[in-house]
Structure 1
Amino acid sequence: MTTPATPQAHEQQAPGHGPAVSYTSPIPIRPATLGDAIASEWTKIRSVRSTIWTLGVMMMLMLAVGVGSALLIAATDTDLMGEPVLGLGFFGVLLGSICVITLGVLTIGSEYSTGMIRTTLTACPSRSRVLTAKAIVFFLLTFALTTVAATVIAAFQTLILDGGTASGSLWLRATLGAGVYIATLGLLSLGVGAIVRHSAGAITIMIGVVLLPLVLAPFMYAESLRGLQRFLVEYSIPNQLGALYGTTVTSSGPSGWEPLLLMPLLAAAALGGAYAALKQRDV
């Protein structure tokens, strides 16, 4: 991870034990920077097949479900009663989030499974710089693709269906907000992957984080568990994502832009644990 910048001078002993001859290397040397680490991580993430497959499947799921649901409703002449149609994009984005979770874990988990992490840390001994570079590259890539897909879906749904006019705030939440939320969810997965160091285990944990609250909540019949049941439903990741589209399953809980305050806190906690774990471990 060291990139050239300033020549280094050396002294070589002349033949026959004569005076030393000054020699200047034509290869400049400079300390590695975060930019170098980002360039390295970008090369890695775009070179592996898992990135193409997971993000490709994500885009197909989002577009197929989002546009397909609009075409299905249009074909059945369903009356939307003036409701904005952007909420239909929620289902595709929720399915696509599974792909982002998978890629977030694989971004670092695959290096542990193949042993590549040793090479990475040898080239760049600053472990915090490595994790920061991975987080920046992963966030920007998934944010860009998710936002583009969500915007295309919203545009097609508006053209296909004759629903109510969506407000500017709803448009921003359903496109830009969805992109930020899903990319930040991916950062949470990246942090969990760095802590667990096992791809299958970290992916299983993250799928549980997404789906388990909604699976457990219906079975909490006891009156003493009502508060916990309501909390699990209101603050589940699907319900938070639905709040961006105005399609929450409860009347209380996060609404509007609030999910974009909650998910970064979770991601920051996971990445904080990942930084601490990386510094304490040998690898």
Structure 2
Amino acid sequence: MAATQVLKSEWTKIRSVSSTVWTLGLAVVVTVALGALISVLSRNDYDNLDARDRLSFDATFISFAGMSLGQLAMIVFGVLVVSNEYSTGMIRTSLAAVPQRGAFLFSKVLVATLLAFAVGLATSFLAFFVGQAMLGPYRAEIGDPGVLRAVIGGGLYMTLIAMFSMGVAAMLRSPMLSLGILMPFFFLISSILGNVSATKKIGRFLPDQAGSKIMQVKTPFADDTPYGPWGGLGIMVAWVVLALLGGYALLRRRDA
């Protein structure tokens, strides 16, 4: 099967599964709504901040507060894109049509990544503008130093979360097992490791914590992270590459 036909087939699969479309929609709504709420609360609390906290007040990053929940929807999207065929048994038909397993997997990942990036970038810009409107006099402007980088970075972050989930799902094949590992990992384990002093230096190198650095414009006080925004994104990219390579290696070795 020609490459263009494989890509078209994967696009049709994604578009025809309503759960993947609803999941992307949920990512947008949750990210923007929660970001707006946190922005309103931050605006009301601004007068209670001391001078040091006002200097590190990051209006841009505050508008991305909803990413913590929005990324969970992107995880579900990434898992469903890859593992849905395993749960329905369609994987045998797909591999019979596209016997080159590398072409099969990476065509699926490419189409899903482009869709995730489009949705992630739109979500990031929408969350920023809505959040800044809620912040009122404390808002940041898109032309301020570092802001455009942070907003585009928000879209990249959501995309990489989905790609990492695709790699894990390709390794595990089961949607329930994949979600059972990824959800607690990002929502609980990563937060605990990143906030406990004994494990903080390890937690900062996890994909979500490293990648979220790209969305920061101002560095909080007492932040001794040994990398900057692009370094953090690079660490997240490395995690994604490892997950996808692991998924590809296992797909080649085992039966459908």
Query: Matched residues in 2 for 1:94 and 1:140: separation?
Result: 21
Letter in 1 for 2:249: A
Letter in 2 for 1:155: F
Query: Matched residues in 1 for 2:228 and 2:254: separation?
Result: 40
Give, in angstroms, the shift of residue 72 of structure 1. 3.8
Asked if 1:273 corresponds to 2:246, the answer is yes
Letter in 1 for 2:46: T
Per the normalisation by structure 2, the TM-score is 0.85
Letter in 1 for 2:180: T
Asked if 1:255 corresponds to 2:228, the answer is yes
Aligned to 1:231: 201
Aligned to 1:8: none
Letter in 1 for 2:81: T
* Structure with larger Rg: 1
Give, in angstroms, the shift of residue 86 of structure 1. 0.9
Using the aligned pairs only, state the percent identity.
31
Query: Matched residues in 1 for 2:177 and 2:252: separation?
Result: 21
Give, in angstroms, the shift of residue 214 of structure 1. 2.8
- Shift of the 171–102 alpha-carbon distance from structure 1 to 2, 3 Å rule, reads same
Aligned to 2:74: 100
Give, in angstroms, the shift of residue 112 of structure 1. 0.5
- Alignment partner of 2:46 out of 39, 56, 78: 78
Aligned to 2:173: 197
In structure 2, the gaps of 5 or more residues are: none
Query: Matched residues in 1 for 2:156 and 2:112: separation?
Result: 12
Asked if 1:152 corresponds to 2:126, the answer is yes
Query: Matched residues in 2 for 1:244 and 1:188: separation?
Result: 17
Q: Matches of residues 67-216 of structure 1 in structure 2 within 5 Å?
A: 67-74=36-43, 76=44, 78-79=46-47, 81=54, 83-160=57-134, 161-163=136-138, 165=140, 168=144, 170-210=146-186, 211-216=188-193
Query: Matched residues in 1 for 2:8 and 2:145: separation?
Result: 35
Query: Matched residues in 1 for 2:195 and 2:62: separation?
Result: 24
Would you tell me which structure has more helix in proportion to its own residues? 2
Answer yes or no: is the 8 Å Cα contact 2:212–2:233 preserved in 1: no
Pick 1 or 2: higher relative contact order, CA cutoff 8 A, min separation 6.
Answer: 2
Residues 166-198 of structure 1: per-residue CA shift (max 9 Å, x gap): 565532333211111221121111111111111
Give, in angstroms, the shift of residue 113 of structure 1. 0.9
Per the normalisation by structure 1, the TM-score is 0.78
In structure 1, the gaps of 5 or more residues are: 1-31, 221-225
Answer yes or no: is the 8 Å Cα contact 1:147–1:178 preserved in 2: yes
Query: Matched residues in 2 for 1:218 and 1:170: separation?
Result: 26
Q: Judge which range, 127-136 or 241-250, deviates more.
A: 241-250
Equivalent position SS for 2:65 = helix
Give, in angstroms, the shift of residue 67 of structure 1. 1.8
The number of equivalent residue pairs is 244
- Alignment partner of 1:61 out of 27, 30, 34: 30
- Shift of the 236–101 alpha-carbon distance from structure 1 to 2, 3 Å rule, reads same
Give, in angstroms, the shift of residue 253 of structure 1. 3.8
- Shift of the 77–273 alpha-carbon distance from structure 1 to 2, 3 Å rule, reads closer
